[in-house]
Amino acid sequence: MIEFDKVSKQFPDGTKAVDNISFRVEPGELFVLIGPSGCGKTTTMKMINRLIDTTSGKISINDENILHKDLHKLRWEIGYVLQQIALFPHMTIAENIAIVPELKKWEKKRTEKRIDELMEMTGLDPDTYRNRLPKELSGGQQQRVGVIRALAGDPDILLMDEPFSALDPISREQLQKDIASLQRDIKKTIVFVTHDMDEALQLGDRIAVMQEGKIVQMDTPDNLLEHPADDFVKSFIGERKDMWETRVEAAMMPVPEPLPPDLPSVNAELSLREAVRVLQESEKEQAAVLKENKIAGVITNKSVLAYLMPGQKKEGGRK
Ligand SMILES: Nc1ncnc2c1ncn2[C@@H]1O[C@H](COP(=O)(O)OP(=O)(O)O)[C@@H](O)[C@H]1O
Ligand SMILES: [Mg+2]
């Protein structure tokens, strides 16, 4: 668990990069910081592993002030992925990944096993890639190695600072999907920085929108879309708000077998907004979508979100 308590950072030249922010990231949560360039995202991130020290306020990890922790231990317990990961060019992929486990003095066998496991988990065949040099991998594959390297020492916390923004759209989409599914398995506490709202909505359990060093809204993806706090947040969300007026059938999935009992139902002509309200009030996982009094499909919170996010067509019904 990471907690910021009224944290500010002013640089020696007077720049107030972070201005009195407080938030708590729960264990296993993927927490997104989003905002325009220069709003203080990277500074916030770097204060967690003390690459930058705070000017005022307190940051704790598992209820311990980070200033009281051993600096090396703190850094080893926190994986860090940057936009441009710097793999060591003369070292093989396996050697690059083994850096933190070796610092931690893991047994060689354990390190090797961990490398294979993580490479397999992220779709890099160990037999093919283990002994290659970074330059023998594509940009997307190198970034994947960056993620693996950050995870190698089995840190509790992962900091990811615009990890995919230098990639082409296809690698980027693939890595976003990989991170989402990886997170379902490993459940790390992740702070993820992006300036891309689609990425934030797709990955975040919660999203904090930053502007000029302050957090202007902190909410779940659904609430952020549904209730943007002000015009700044609205502008970040762009036109997507109106998509809630789309007919619910757009976000429909095939009827599952067997059909669960006691499903709430919505009419196919209802708006997404109204349909989601019915779903939420029912406290069920899914709702049947009725067309001419027949069940034409079902919606879930996920299928609706998938519809609302471009590039995420897998679970939604968008053709
Ligand atoms: N070392 C530094 N000295 C002075 N100002 C800095 C320094 N690092 C960052 N800043 C300033 O702090 C603000 C926030 O920067 P940063 O956290 O990097 O923003 P972001 O990651 O959201 O783009 C910017 O105005 C930036 O110019
Ligand atoms: Mg930055």
Q: Model confidence over 39-95: pLDDT tens digits? A: 999 999 999 999 999 999 999 999 999 999 999 989 888 999 987 778 999 999 999
* pLDDT on residue 176: 87
- Mean per-residue pLDDT over the chain, rounded: 89
Ligand 1 centre distance from Cα of residue 174 (Å) = 30
> Taking residues 238-266, what's their average pLDDT?
80
Which ligand sits closest to the CA of 165?
A: 2
Ligand 1 pocket test target in 7, 8, 11 with most atoms within 8 Å of CB: 11
Q: Which atom of ligand 1 is nearest to the CA of 44?
A: 17
Tell me: the pLDDT tens digits for 287-303? 999 988 899 999 998 88
Residue 239: pLDDT above 60? no
* pLDDT on residue 86: 80
Residue 157: pLDDT above 50? yes
> Taking residues 254-280, what's their average pLDDT?
88
Ligand 1 centre distance from Cα of residue 9 (Å) = 10
Ligand 2 centre distance from Cα of residue 193 (Å) = 8
User: Which range, of 12-26, 74-88, 203-217, averages the lowest pLDDT?
Assistant: 74-88
* pLDDT on residue 310: 56
What is the Cα–Cα distance from 218 to 242, expressed in whole angstroms? 21
* pLDDT on residue 108: 95
**Is ligand 1 within 6 A of the CB of residue 37?**
yes
* pLDDT on residue 122: 80
Binned at pLDDT 50, 70 and 90, residue 240 comes out as low
Q: Which atom of ligand 1 is nearest to the CA of 36?
A: 22
Ligand 2 centre distance from Cα of residue 37 (Å) = 7
Residues lining ion ligand 2 (Cβ < 5 A) are 41-42
Q: Which atom of ligand 1 is nearest to the CA of 35?
A: 22
Which ligand sits closest to the CA of 44?
A: 1
* pLDDT on residue 260: 83
* pLDDT on residue 106: 94
Ligand 1 pocket test target in 8, 10, 15 with most atoms within 8 Å of CB: 15
* pLDDT on residue 39: 95
User: Which range, of 133-147, 262-276, 300-314, averages the lowest pLDDT?
Assistant: 300-314
Q: Which atom of ligand 1 is nearest to the CA of 33?
A: 22
Domain ranges of the chain: 2-238, 246-308
Q: Does domain 2-238 have CATH number 3.40.50.300?
A: yes
Higher confidence at residue 257 or residue 220? Answer: 220
Ligand 1 centre distance from Cα of residue 38 (Å) = 6
* pLDDT on residue 222: 85
Q: Which atom of ligand 1 is nearest to the CA of 45?
A: 17
> Taking residues 165-184, what's their average pLDDT?
82
**Is ligand 1 within 6 A of the CB of residue 14?**
no
Which ligand sits closest to the CA of 84?
A: 2
Higher confidence at residue 75 or residue 2? Answer: 2
Q: Over the chain, what HEC string results?
A: CEEEEEEEEECCCCCEEEEEEEEEECCCCEEEEECCCCCCHHHHHHHHCCCCCCCEEEEEECCEEHHHCCHHHHHHCEEEECCCCCCCCCCCHHHHHCHHHHHCCCCHHHHHHHHHHHHHHCCCCHHHHCCCCHHHCCHHHHHHHHHHHHHHCCCCEEEEECCCCCCCHHHHHHHHHHHHHHHHHHCCEEEEEECCHHHHHHHCCEEEEEECCEEEEEECHHHHHHCCCCHHHHHHHHHHHHHHHCEHHHHCECCCCCCCCCCCEEECCCEHHHHHHHHHHHCCCEEEEEECCEEEEEEEHHHHHHHHCCCCCCCCCCC
User: Which range, of 71-80, 210-219, 305-314, averages the lowest pLDDT?
Assistant: 305-314
Ligand 1 centre distance from Cα of residue 138 (Å) = 30
- Please state which CATH number belongs to domain 246-308: 3.90.1280.20
* pLDDT on residue 126: 96
